[in-house]
Structures are given as C-alpha cells and as structure tokens.
C-alpha cells in the first residue's frame, strides 16, 4: 500500500509533499490516525487468513495431482506463510492484493485440471494397489474395481479428494497385510523351488545317458547332488509351512490363500501326491528287483541246454580232406618233428636206424583211412 496516499486520507497536512509548514495534530487527526492503524491491522489479519487458505488448497491440489517440484517453487512466497502468525509476517509485499489474486487464479486452474485428471489419478492408485496384491499373491478382480471407480467419478457421488483418500487408505492396509504374509510367502517360494528341483531330479534319474561323458554332464551331476540334499528337506519345509499357516489363520480368523487357493489345501494335496509317488517308486523298484531275480534263476537253465557236451579226449584228430590229400599243415609239422627226433636219436645211439624224413606217426584209424585213400588212385612211379 502507498503510505502517503493513506496519510493524506487522514489529513492533507501529514503529507510532506504538500510543502505545508505546519501539520495537524488535533485530537480529531490523532483519532483518525489510530483508526487507520487499527483498520490496517484488521486488514492484515484478513489477508493472512486468506493467503493461508489458498496456500493450503494449493498444497492439497499439488499432492493430489502429484505436481512436480518445479511448479510448486513458483508459489513459495505463498506457501512460506502457511502457518505464520500475524506478527511473524513482516516482509514487504508479502500480503499484496495482486499476490493473493495470483494464488486464487492458480487454485481455480488446478481445480479444473483436477476434474479432468481424476480418473488418471484414481487409476494410478489402483495400479499401485494391484501391484501390492500381486506381489503378496492375493487374488482380486481388477476389472470390477476399475468399473467402480469410473462409476463414482462419473456420477459425482463422492468428492475426488475423498475417493483418493479412500484409495490411499486401501493401499496402506494392503501394505500391512502383505507385510504380515511375507514370512509365509518366503517359505512358499523356497518350497516351490525345491519341488522344481525334485521334478528335475526325477527326469535326471530316468535318463540312461546321464553318466555319459557329454558336454555339461559334470554340471548336471553337481546339480543332482545338491537337488538330492534339497529334496530331503522338503518334508520339514511342508511341516513348518503348515504350522505357520495355521497360526496365521487363527490370529486373523481368515483363510490364508495363495492366488485364490487355500495354502493348507495345496500342502495337503502335495503330501498326498508325494506319498503316491513314493509308493509308485517302491513298486517299480520291487518289480525291477523281481525281474532281475527271475533272470538270475533262469540263466543256469538256458546255459545248460545250449552248451554241447565236449568229447572226453582233448586230442584233435585231423582226417584227410575230401580230395584224399592229408592236411598240409599237419603233414609238414609232423615231418619236421619226425626229422628232429630222428636226428637226436641218431646222435644218442648210432646203432639205431634213423627214421625217414617223411615219417608221420599216425593212429590206426588214420592209417586205415590213408590206405583207403591211396587205394583209389595208384601211386605214381
């Protein structure tokens, strides 16, 4: 406000620009000065109250629409006095009428923008809510929730701020529920991971080529060793999960569901399937053991029937061929053996007659066959 114009309204002589040598100090002038000061104090209070209301609305709208920080800084001179008292506001121009009018225009603009962005803001919170439920494996109907939000906004039955506040409350409760489920969900993830390793181990054990020296076979072998250790821990995991789940349900009075399915029902079904699988494995082992035992008992019978009896004599008798000519290998070896024997005997005893070089010691049967063979064709001179 202009000081001199205000003073002039009280009395013209109070303005130094008038070049009047004397100033009015009458009781009437002093009274009017006091009234002006009181009116200015009251105007200051009203302006501060108006400015603080606008600052509060601006802050709420900014938070509601997630206004960037850069846009908020443009009105720091308004929001800085949001909680100041009358005496604390002493900066020149802090309560100017044009500043208050500027804040009013911004509030109106944000109100109009809020109506057009309300669906976007509500759906943004709905997406956040759905992500929390999905991470906590809580099943919801997102389509129905979105339709409900659209109906509330279109009909105008609820204030946008109330709708968003209600959704913020739902997000807070969802986070609390997700936190209460975290321990059980971590154990469920470990149990499911162990079940996957159990399935892989079953496939690995059925592979007849698992011990072949192929590429990556040693890695599969190491994985199989770790998988066997992990699979042996599954019964303990299931028992702990059952105990934790029952305690959680008793504490809250509701069923613990994993993606819409009661977790205890899942664990019971797995226990039954595991028992059936163990019985099937035991049956297959017994069947294989019985088959091996049968093969072991039948093996001596088959070998005794299929093996022919050997002759008592181990001496190999070689007869003449179909053309009547004795085997050449046998004749040559016999001739050489006979010659060596005759030479040795001649050295030992000179009185003994040496055997002819073509002498072969044969049995009577061989001799008879030889004679019969020679009878058919006369000997050459």
Burial of 164 (0-12, 13-18, 19+ CB in 10 A): buried
Average pLDDT over residues 349-375: 43
296 Cβ contact list (under 8 Å, min separation 6)? none
Residue 12 DSSP symbol? G
C-alpha distances (whole Å) from 186 to each of 190, 241, 254, 257 are: 6, 10, 20, 14
Given a cut of 80, is residue 57 above it in pLDDT? yes
Boundary residue ending a domain (45, 78, 95)? 95
SS3 label, residue 9: helix
Please report whether residue 328 resides in a domain: no
Boundary residue ending a domain (65, 95, 125)? 95
**Helix (H) / strand (E) containing 152:** helix 142-155
Output the six-digit token pair for 351: 């009185």
Range 295-299, long-range pairs (CB < 8 A, 24+ positions): none
Please report whether residue 321 resides in a domain: no
Which of 34-43, 229-238, 259-268, 303-312 has the least mean pLDDT? Answer: 303-312
- Per-residue confidence at 337, pLDDT binned at 50, 70, 90? very low
- 355 vs 210 pLDDT, higher one: 210
> Which of 156, 178, 160 is closest to 123 using CA atoms?
160
pTM of this prediction? 0.52
In DSSP terms, which residues pair with 262 in a beta bridge?
Answer: 257
Q: What is the pLDDT of residue 316?
A: 38
Q: What is the pLDDT of residue 336?
A: 42
**Helix (H) / strand (E) containing 45:** helix 27-65
Q: What is the pLDDT of residue 380?
A: 40
Q: How much of the chain, in percent, has pLDDT values that exceed 90?
A: 22
Rounded mean pLDDT of the chain? 76
Domains in the chain: how many in total? Answer: 2
Please report whether residue 208 resides in a domain: yes
Beta strands in 256-326 (DSSP E): 257-258, 261-262
Q: What is the pLDDT of residue 325?
A: 37
What whole-number distance in Å separates Cα of residue 281 and Cα of residue 294?
Answer: 20
What whole-number distance in Å separates Cα of residue 107 and Cα of residue 373?
Answer: 137
Residue with tokens 């070089």: 357
Residue with tokens 């059936």: 276
Residue 375 DSSP symbol? H
Residue with tokens 């190491």: 222
Boundary residue ending a domain (244, 265, 295)? 295
Q: Which domain holds residue 70?
A: 1-95
Residue with tokens 């080529």: 209
Please report whether residue 314 resides in a domain: no
Please report whether residue 171 resides in a domain: no
Burial of 100 (0-12, 13-18, 19+ CB in 10 A): middle
- 255 vs 83 pLDDT, higher one: 255
Output the six-digit token pair for 378: 């006369």
Please report whether residue 77 resides in a domain: yes
Alpha carbon 1 to chain centroid, angstroms: 68
Please report whether residue 307 resides in a domain: no
Residue 216 DSSP symbol? T
CATH number of the domain encompassing residue 227: 1.20.58.1520
- Per-residue confidence at 80, pLDDT binned at 50, 70, 90? confident
Average pLDDT over residues 354-369: 43
Beta strands in 120-270 (DSSP E): 257-258, 261-262
SS3 label, residue 208: coil
Please report whether residue 308 resides in a domain: no
249 Cβ contact list (under 8 Å, min separation 6)? 255, 256, 264
- Per-residue confidence at 300, pLDDT binned at 50, 70, 90? low
Given a cut of 60, is residue 376 above it in pLDDT? no
Q: How far apart are the first and last CA of the chain?
A: 166
Give yes or no: residues 290 and 185 share one domain: yes
- 134 vs 329 pLDDT, higher one: 134
What whole-number distance in Å separates Cα of residue 74 and Cα of residue 94?
Answer: 14
Average pLDDT over residues 158-166: 83
The CA radius of gyration of the chain, in Å to the nearest whole number, is 57
What whole-number distance in Å separates Cα of residue 81 and Cα of residue 349?
Answer: 148
Residue 134 DSSP symbol? H
C-alpha distances (whole Å) from 116 to each of 109, 119, 127, 152, 347 are: 11, 7, 19, 14, 135
- DSSP helix, strand, coil percent of the chain (3-state; round to 5): 70, 0, 25
Average pLDDT over residues 272-286: 85
In DSSP terms, which residues pair with 257 in a beta bridge?
Answer: 262
> Which of 221, 227, 239, 223 is closest to 198 using CA atoms?
227
Output the six-digit token pair for 359: 């002498």
């Amino acid at each position: 406000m202009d000081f001199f114009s205000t003073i002039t309204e009280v009395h013209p002589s109070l303005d130094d620009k008038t070049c009047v040598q004397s100033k009015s100090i009458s009781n009437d002038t002093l009274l009017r000065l006091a009234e002006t000061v009181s009116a200015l104090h009251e105007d200051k209070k009203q302006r501060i109250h108006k400015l603080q209301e606008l600052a509060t609305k601006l802050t709420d709208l900014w938070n509601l629409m997630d206004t960037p920080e850069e846009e908020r800084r443009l009105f720091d001179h308004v929001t800085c006095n949001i909680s100041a008292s009358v005496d604390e506001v002493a900066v020149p121009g802090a309560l100017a009428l044009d500043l208050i009018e500027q804040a009013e225009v911004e509030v109106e603009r944000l109100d109009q923008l809020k109506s057009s962005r309300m669906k976007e803001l509500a759906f943004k919170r709905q997406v956040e809510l759905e992500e929390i439920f999905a991470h906590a494996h809580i099943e919801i109907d997102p389509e129905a929730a979105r339709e409900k939000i659209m109906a509330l906004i279109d009909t105008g039955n609820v204030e946008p701020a109330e709708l968003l506040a209600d959704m913020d409350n739902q997000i807070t409760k969802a986070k609390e529920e997700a936190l209460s489920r975290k321990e059980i969900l971590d154990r469920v993830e470990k149990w499911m991971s162990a079940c996957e390793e159990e399935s892989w181990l079953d496939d690995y054990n059925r592979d007849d080529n698992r011990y072949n020296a192929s590429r990556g076979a040693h890695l599969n072998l190491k994985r199989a060793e770790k998988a066997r250790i992990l699979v042996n821990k599954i019964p303990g995991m299931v028992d702990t999960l059952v105990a934790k789940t029952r305690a959680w349900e008793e504490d809250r009075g509701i069923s613990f569901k994993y993606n819409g399915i009661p977790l205890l029902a899942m664990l019971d079904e797995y226990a039954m399937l595991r028992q059936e699988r163990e019985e099937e494995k035991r049956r297959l082992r017994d069947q294989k053991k019985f088959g091996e035992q049968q093969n072991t008992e039948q093996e001596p019978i088959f070998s005794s029937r299929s093996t022919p009896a050997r002759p008592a004599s181990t001496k190999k008798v070689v007869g003449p061929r179909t053309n009547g000519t004795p085997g050449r290998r046998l004749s040559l070896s016999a001739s050489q053996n006979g010659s060596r024997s005759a030479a040795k005997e001649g050295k030992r005893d000179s009185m003994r007659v040496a055997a002819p070089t073509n002498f072969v010691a044969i049995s009577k049967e061989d001799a008879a066959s030889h004679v019969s063979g020679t009878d058919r064709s006369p000997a050459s001179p």
